[in-house]
Structure formats: C-alpha cells, structure tokens
Structure 1
Amino acid sequence: MSGEANATIVFDGLCVLCNGWVRFLLRHDRHGRYRFAAMQGESGRALLAAHGLDPDDPVSFLLVNGTRAFTDTEAIGRVLWGLGGVWAVPAAVIAIFPRALRDRLYRWAARNRYRWFGRHDICMVPSPAQAARFLP
C-alpha cells in the first residue's frame, strides 16, 4: 500500500463514529494528504455514484485517489498506511485477515453505526483552518 497523496475520503457526515474518524485524521494527517467529502453533500454523493455506490444507502467507506477507488477495510488500511509512522502497524494488521471476512465485519458495523454510536442532526462543520480540506 502506498500513501494516498491528495486523496478524497467520503464519509457519513451525520455519523458520530465517522466524524470521530475525520477528526482523528485531521489531527494525524500532518502532510494534508486527505480531503473530505460528506456523503450527504453534492461532492460526496457524486463520488459515491461514480464508483458504483448508492448515495441513498451508503454502507461503505470510500477513498478516491485519482481514478482509483477503494472501499471498506481496503480504504481504511490505505488511509492508515498513508499516515505513516506507527499508523502503518494497524494497516498491516488489517491486511493479515482475508478481505471478505474483514469487509463483512465492517459492513455489519456500518449498518449499525447510528444505533451503536449515535447520529448528529447536521453534518460536521469544519473550522476555518480545516475548511479548505472539505469538498462541498
């Protein structure tokens, strides 16, 4: 897995867990590799649809880097790998398990994310310093 320079992460802007993931990435992505698009926004919906995912029933994590797209645990592993340093360790651990198994577990968690972690009424609003990293 290589670092994903200038890649876009499509996330659920209403999901408490997903917003926590984005805040984690904003804190640890010191090189600004990743941009973000809420799947409820115009850019996020368009990226989901362009890569064969239903914008009205999103149960997948999407990482888009140029013309390549990665979903679910493959996307998570690539993002962690791209952070470098100690974050390459969990990326390597993820890769040990068969993708079919880990993606099945991921989708189960994704389907239950609102029930387990909660849901915001509105999408996350980035700070002025972070706004340039978010697509509309």
Structure 2
Amino acid sequence: MENYKKIILFDGVCNLCNTTVQFVIKNDKDDLFRFSALQSETGRKLLAERNIDTEDIDSIILIEPNVAYYTKSTAALEIGKNLKGLRTLSSILLWLPESFRNIVYDIVAKNRYKWYGKKESCMIPTPKLKDKFL
C-alpha cells in the first residue's frame, strides 16, 4: 500500500457513494486518493486497525496515513479540499460546527439507499482504474 496516498473508505453497495467515488477519481488531478469499499477485506482491515465501528459510521471515511482519519462530513469536506473547484467551498464549510454539519450528513446517510438506490454487490473497477483500488 502506498503510505502517502489518502484512502477513501466508502459503502461499496451505495449508488450515491459509488457516484461520489467516480466524481473524486475524475477530479483527482494530483492522484492523491486510493479507494476501498468498507465491505472489502482491505476496508475491514483498515477499520479494525483504527478501531472504527461500522455500526456508528457506515458511509465514508478518509484516512491520511500517519496523520489522522476523518469521518462523516469532515471526511467529505477534507476530500473536497483536495479537488479543484471544491477547495474554497470545502474550506469554508469546515468552519461550521461539526455537530451541525453531521446533522445534515446523517440525514443524507440515513436515506441514501431510499433516495439513490443500492447495488447487489460492490463496484468492480475497470482495468484502467484498478490501481486506484486497494
């Protein structure tokens, strides 16, 4: 695993999450991110290493190796800070209290399957994108 790449753990069966991953891949001009589904062996290992319980957090987690990990709205905004076009907005929104941001985030996360649908299995990356997935 590349120790300097930021790792995004996502719900591999969630259509919203998969669309978000595709958006990040498309806009990750500096090749900063790697991806793993929460349900994958690698995802479960990374969660266990950090004692993260998916009963509490089951949607998105950003891991910056040897630095920290972020969850919920903070993870989403930290990812956005690294994407052209979202840097300024993400930086501004990070100034809002995390408790307020997470109320909005939790509403979307709770309803994501109902609003956006769900896949039967995790996304399989194309051969071109395979190196971006752990």
Q: Tell me the CA shift for residue 51 of structure 1.
A: 2.5
Question: RMSD in angstroms over aligned alpha carbons?
Answer: 1.6
Q: Output the CA distance in 2 between the equivalents of 1:18 and 1:34.
A: 15
1:109-124 alignment runs, 5 A limit: 109-124=108-123
Q: Output the CA distance in 2 between the equivalents of 1:49 and 1:103.
A: 23
1:76-87 alignment runs, 5 A limit: 76-83=76-83, 85-87=84-86
Q: Tell me the CA shift for residue 57 of structure 1.
A: 6.2
Give a deviation string over 1:48-74, Cα, whole Å, max 9, x none.
233232246643421011131111111
Q: Output the CA distance in 2 between the equivalents of 1:122 and 1:56.
A: 19
The answer to whether residue 49 in structure 2 is matched with residue 50 in structure 1 is yes
Percent pairwise identity: 33
Q: Tell me the CA shift for residue 109 of structure 1.
A: 1.5
Q: Structure 1 pair 60/123, CA: closer, same or farther in 2 (3 Å)?
A: closer
Secondary structure in 1 matching 2:94: helix
Give a deviation string over 1:7-41, Cα, whole Å, max 9, x none.
00000010000000000011100221000000110
- Number of matched residues? 130
The residue that corresponds to 2:106 in the other structure is 107
Task: Give the structure with the larger helix fraction.
Answer: 1
The code of the aligned residue for 2:120 comes to: D
Structure 2: where are the runs of 5+ without partners?
none
Q: Output the CA distance in 2 between the equivalents of 1:57 and 1:88.
A: 28
The answer to whether residue 114 in structure 2 is matched with residue 125 in structure 1 is no
2:5 touches 2:64 (CA, 8 Å); kept in 1? yes
The code of the aligned residue for 2:58 comes to: V
1:59 touches 1:107 (CA, 8 Å); kept in 2? no
Q: Output the CA distance in 2 between the equivalents of 1:43 and 1:17.
A: 21
- Runs of at least 4 residues off by over 6 Å: none
The answer to whether residue 69 in structure 2 is matched with residue 34 in structure 1 is no
TM-score by length of 2: 0.88
Structure 1: where are the runs of 5+ without partners?
none
